[in-house]
Every structure is written in C-alpha cells, then in structure tokens.
Structure 1
Amino acid sequence: MRRRLPLLVVVLLGLVAVSSAQAAPPLEATFIEDLQRLEARLQGGESAAVERRALEQARRLAGGNAADRWARALYLQLAAGAASRQDEPARAADLLAEARGLDGLEAAQHDRWLYDEARLRLAAGQHPQGSELLTEWLARHRGEPRDRWRLARALAELERWEAAATWVEEALAVTPRPDAGQRTLAGTVLRRAGREGQALSLLVGGLADSREPVRWREAAALAQRAGDDGQAAAIWEAGWRAGILSGSDDLRRLAELHLVGGTPARAAEYLETGLASGELVDGEANRRLLAQAWERARDRERALAAWQAVAELSEKEEDWARLARLARAYRLTPSISRTKGGSESSSARP
C-alpha cells in the first residue's frame, strides 16, 4: 500500500508568524526557503535526493535550540514523505517516529504524525505497532469510520478477536451501509469472537443485495451454529426461491434443513418434487430421507408408503421391522408378505 504524507508547503508560511507559547517556534527564512525547494523537488519526483538532503539537514540540526529542533522535525517529516514516495512505509514510519519524539513538539502536531505513523506501520505489515499507535490516536480523536475499520482489520490480522470485535462494533455504529468487504470482515471477526448472533444479523441484513451463493450458505451455517435451525432453513429456502441456490445438492440440503428446523412436511414436499422431476436421484438415501420427513410430519399414510419403499429398496430386516413398528404405533395392522428372495411387500389398513 502506498501512503503519501501531507505536503508541507501549505503549513510552513503559517508557522513563521506564530508566536504563542503553545505554538511551534518561528523558523529562519533560510530554512523555510530550503524546505519549500525540497518540497518542490519531491513533487517533481526526486524522492531519493530529497530524502538524502532532508536527513543531512536533520543531522546537522541535532542538539540545537527549540527553533532548530522544530526545523529538524520538519526535515524528518519531509524525509518520511520522500521514503513513502519510494514505497518504503516502514522507513517512513521510523522517520516520523523520530520527528514526533523531539522535545517541545506541540500536541496537535504530535498527534498528526502519530496518526500518519500508525497508517504507515499498518501499510508496512507492522500490525502490532500500527494497531497500538492507532488505538492511542483514537483514544483522543473521533476520526473517520475508515479508521475504526482499519484498526479492526489490523487486530484481526493479529487474531486478537475480542479487541477486533469491539472495534467492529464501533465501526458498524458509524457506517450506515457497510460495503461487502466490511461486512465480510465484520462477520469473520464477530464469529471468531463468539458473537454468533451479531454475526448472523449482519449477514442476513446484507443478503438482500447479494447473489453470491457462498454468502447464503454461510449465513445458513451460521444460523445453525447459533442454534437456530429454523432460521437456517428459512435462509436456504429464500436463496432457493431466488434462484441463487440450485442443483441437487442444494435441494437435498434444503430438505435436510427443513427436517431439522421443525418443518418436516416442507422437507418431504421438496424431496417428492425433486424425485418426481429427476433432480434428485431416486435411490435409497433420498427415499430414506423422504420417509423420515413424512414420519416426523405425522402423515400416517405417506410415512408408511415411504418406509415400505425404503424397505423394498434396501431389503434390510431393520427397515421392515421399522415399518411394522410404525404401523403398530399408528394402530394399523400391517400385512407383510416376503418372497423367497427376501423381498417384502406390506400393506396396512385401519
């Protein structure tokens, strides 16, 4: 990430006339002229040469009076800007740290450089230092929503999930419509921090604008992890009806979610439709799921017919036994005949 520091020209002339006790000391005209020349060269693309000259001047001014220290700080800032233009954010951050560490620096300027250093540290991948500096700055300044998102992302990089979740909440509070990247970051952080309910609300709120199947599947999975199977089924069905989720795997998953979510009749209806249309394979696994769905829906006739179909396909003793137990539970009398090859047929009457 490339980070260009604010230019000096717009502030230098104003500094000369300031004489209050809290303001920076006035600079000699030679320093102002030199800084302006270097700034012009920096804008002209002479980054390396400007950095060398600025550092030479900063070294020469070491140990001077208050005005010299202020001039030195400005040369260090200029060198930092030159380093940033050369895509060296870590070196630029070090130079800003040196500038803001000089004695006599006014608080407002110190914090401006603190903020820039924090962003440079993060751009350089120095997340521990960058997040610490940005946290310090935000303790004294309101900042922009992007600052909170930046800090949340840095803390997530460090896997400090609780701290990251706190800043995600701060960021969401001042971001009426988070974009896709922000929602993804927030969802990940909130889940890893164990705040499943908040993560789910965020994901569901953003689904209306998304046609990405992965996001719908993720939201349904999150609802299940939060213990709300019914909502998981509702999310999956909405995605299915919108055509975002499709295919045999998604159809079977829809039925499974309805089955565990307390709407087994809906599960059975989707399974029957899928089997009739050929979208689902007409085999033992799908027939067994259909039988379980009708049984849980307490539809006696369909449950018995479905379990009989399963038993005929599987030819397993336990499936025939289950059919018989189910018939007795429904107070029906099963009539089961078995062929020599082991297959059975069953009918039941009231």
Structure 2
Amino acid sequence: MRSLLLLLCLLVSPLALAQQIDPKVFMALEEARDVLQSGHPSAAERLLAEVLKSTNSGSLEQALVQQRLGYLAIAREDYPAAIRWLEQALAQGALDANAVQQDRRNLAQLLVQQGRYQQAVTVLEAESTHGMPLEMRQLLVQAYRELKDYRKAIPLAEQIVRANPSADDLWYQLLAGMNYELRRYAQAVTWLQVLVRRAPGNIEVWRQLASMQSMAGQQVEAAATLRLAYEGGVGLAATDLNNMVALHAQAGAPWQAARLLEALIDQALLPADQQQRLRLAQLWQAARDQNRALSAWRQLAQQSGDAGYWLQVAYLQYQQADWSALQATLAQTRPANAEQRRQLQSLRNAAAAAQINP
C-alpha cells in the first residue's frame, strides 16, 4: 500500500495543476508533497486538512485534496480513512479520466483488503474488464469468489490462465474448486488435469483428480487415474483407494462409490475378495440399484454359501415380486441360527400373502 504514495507525484503534473486550480490550493498541494517526501506525513496531513476547508463542494480543488488525504491515510496504514477519502474524491466527479481510473483501482484494492467485497465489486465493475490490467482482474476474481459468485468469477479466472499459461497453480486450483461448487465436475476435471501435468509427483492432486472424475460420472477414468498414480510411484496406497470410495459413500453418493469400487476391483487395484464384494453389494443396495445389488448379493451367496447372503438375495427378489426366483432361493437357504430361521419364515409368509392378495 505504501507504494501507492508514488502516485501523488504522477497523477497530474505541477504545471497542469497550476493552470487549473486555485493558486492557494496548488501551493498547499505542492508543500504537502514536499513535507511528505521529507518524512513528515502527519504535518502534510494537517496542512491538507486545513486547506480542504477553503475548497468548494464538487470542485477539482476539493477532489485533489481529498485524493491526497486518502494516500496519506494509506501511509499511516489507516485504511478505513483512506477508503473514505478516495470515495469522496471520486464522488466529486472532477478528476480527469486517468486519475479516476487509478483511484478506483486503488480503492478496490483497499476494499478487498478490508473484506468489503461487494463494494470492491461495485467499484471494479464500473470499468470494462476488456482493458482491465491483469492484477485488477485477479482482484475482481477474488472478490467474486469471496461473495460465492462463482458464475462471474470463473470466466475471468479462465481469461487469466489463458492469457498467462504459466500462472500460479493456485489459479488452476481455484478454477477446479469453483466449478466443483457449481457441480460442474467435468469442467473441474479439466483444470485438475492441468495440475497433474504440472506436478506429476503431487499425490494430493492425483487424489483430487480421481475424486472429481468419479463425481463427474467417470468412474472408469477415475480408476485409470488412480492406476497411473499407483504405477507412477507417487505414494498411493490401498488405503487411499478405500478412503476415496468411503468419501463418496459418506457424501451421500453411494452409486458413485459403488461404481468406483467396481472399477477399482476390475482393474485389480483392490482385491476381489469377499470383504470388497460385500462392500460392493451394500453400496449398490444403498444406491437402490436393485439389479446390480441382486447380482452382487447372489455372487456372494454362491461363492460362500452363507445363508445371510441368500436371505439378502431373497429380500431383493421379494421387492421385485419375482416369486418363482424367490421360492427357489428360499428353498435352498439353510439358516445357521434362530434369527435367520425367523427371517426365512417371515419372507415365506410375506411372499405367500402377496401372491394371494396381489
């Protein structure tokens, strides 16, 4: 912020000022600049505050004095005061176009620093983004993001990375994150793929990419991504794969979790053992994909002969009103305990009643 003080000497030349404004105000501005440059900002401020009293509302003189008071407030790090002075200077409508543009941009920077994002957006939107410097576009993206106005932030952020492909990774993360917030998972995947290419040794980016691919319905691609990471030796372990499946389930997306787990098993990244098959069957059932759930439970039952699994098959067949298949399943089920015998009899009774009273 202190560097903004250099603008005091650049906005309007002394000769131009002398020709436009009251000589008394001109002399005060020049003196204040000299006092400031000699290291006495408080004295400069007092001088300007005094001359401000003699200026007229809406005049160029008043706008210039308020402008200088704003930059002096920056010098003492009193940013709320700096904002007030710059707002007042701009409100006069007397400054030339270049000064207005520079003051507006500095005001926006102050507003963002103070967390006053909506006001910063209002100030920045007064300019066309077409000719806006890169740093101001970045500032506007930051303000939009803080306001959760991702639909406006994303196009500007895309302009930034396309204009500067070597932009910091933070911008690609930002684009991925904002698209995720809007549930534009496929677009988020695009930006995460850039990050993977930039940092192939970053395990966290690989995890994010695979997770986002899965959220986008690209579970096979997610599994392929995890395989690449696993074979690339970036430190991916079976626990990472299991955790990713669990995250989808915990986020209320059991179908995506099941599809990802199935793809991981198919690619031999996770073992096709009874534990994983049971997990897959439970996820399909939680996702209410009855056909896939039935297939998974039947496979478990056939491989293990476990009566509990056969009862799950029978329950799904009952829900589908597949009476012939249900009768065949019940006939071959051999309960191992009293609870299983009770469940078996309950299903028999329910099936019989449903067929009598369809």
CA deviation string 1:99-140 (max 9, x = no partner) = 12224432232222222222221122111111111111235x
Q: Deviations over 1:264-302 (max 9, x none)?
A: 5863633349x8xxxxxxxx524646999xxxxxxxxxx
- Structure 1 residues 77, 154: CA separation in 2 closer, same or farther (over 3 Å shift)? same
Shift in CA distance, 310/149, structure 1 to aligned 2, threshold 3 Å: farther
1:60 partner SS: coil
Cα drift, residue 10 of structure 1: 3.9
1:54-65 residue pairs with structure 2 within 5 A?
Answer: 54-63=48-57
**1:95 Cα offset (Å):** 0.7
Q: Which has the higher helix share?
A: 2
Counterpart of 2:80 in structure 1 is: 90
Q: CA deviation at 1:308?
A: 8.2
Match of 1:189 in 2: 178
Shift of 1:231: 2.1
Contact 1:233 1:258 survives alignment (8 Å): no
Matched-pair identity in %: 21
Counterpart amino acid of 1:232?
A
Quick one: distance in 1 between partners of 2:214 and 2:264? 20
Is 1:48 paired with 2:48? no
**Any residues of structure 2 matched to 1:168-247 within 5 Å, and which?**
168-210=157-199, 211-247=201-237
Contact 2:245 2:261 (8 Å CA) reproduced: no
1:57-136 matched pairs, under 5 angstroms: 57-63=51-57, 69-136=59-126
Contact 2:11–2:98 (CA under 8 A) maintained in structure 1: no
Contact residue 141 and residue 157 of structure 2 kept, 8 A: yes
Match for residue 15 of structure 2? 16
1:296-324 alpha-carbon deviations (Å, 9 max, x no partner): xxxxxxx9xx9589627x674529989xx
Contact 1:118–1:131 (8 Å) recurs in 2 = yes
Residue 102 and residue 222 in structure 1: after superposition, are their counterparts in 2 closer, same or farther (change >3 A)? same
Letter in 1 for 2:237: G
Shift of 1:194: 3.8
Given the alignment, which residue of 314, 318, 324 partners 2:310?
318
Structure 1 10/251 Cα, relative in aligned 2: closer, same or farther at 3 Å?
A: closer
CA apart distance, 1:46: 3.1
Are the equivalent residues in 1 in contact too, given 2:109–2:120 (CA < 8 A)?
Answer: yes
For 1:278, the equivalent position in structure 2 comes to: none
Structure 2 segments unaligned to the other structure (5+ residues): 247-255, 283-295, 315-331, 338-358
- The 1:310–1:319 alpha-carbon spacing in structure 2 relative to 1, beyond 3 Å, is farther
Residue 270, structure 1, aligned to residue 269, structure 2: yes
SS state at 1:52 partner: helix
Give the structure 2 partner of residue 280 of structure 1: none
The 1:5/1:237 distance shift into structure 2, 3 A limit, reads farther
Deviations 1:170-203 (A, max 9, x none): 3333232231221222222222234332221011
SS of corresponding position for 1:171:
helix
Q: Which amino acid aligns with 1:8?
A: L
1:128-153 deviations in Å (ceiling 9; x for gaps): 111111111235x6122222221111
Shift of residue 255 of structure 1? Answer: 9.0
Q: What secondary structure sits across from 2:177 in the alignment?
A: helix
Which residue does the alignment assign to 1:329? Answer: none
User: One-letter code of the match for 1:193?
Assistant: L
**Pairwise CA distance, 1:169:** 2.9
1:46-100 per-residue CA deviation (whole Å, 9 max, x = no partner) reads 3333333222222222359xxxx33332222221111112222232122112112
Tell me, yes or no, if the aligned pair for 1:186 and 1:199 is still in contact at 8 Å. yes
Root mean square deviation, CA, Å: 4.1
Higher relative contact order (CA 8 A, sep 6+): 1
Answer yes or no: is 1:146 the counterpart of 2:140. no
Match of 1:25 among 2, 20, 42: 20
Could you tell me which runs of 5 or more consecutive residues in structure 1 were left unpaired when the two chains were aligned. 276-283, 293-302, 323-335, 342-350
Secondary structure at the aligned position of 1:7 is classed as helix
Give a deviation string over 1:206-249, Cα, whole Å, max 9, x none: 11223443332222222122221122222222222233342331
1: distance between equivalents of 2:270 and 2:182?
A: 37
* Cα distance between partner residues in 2 of 1:110 and 1:166: 26
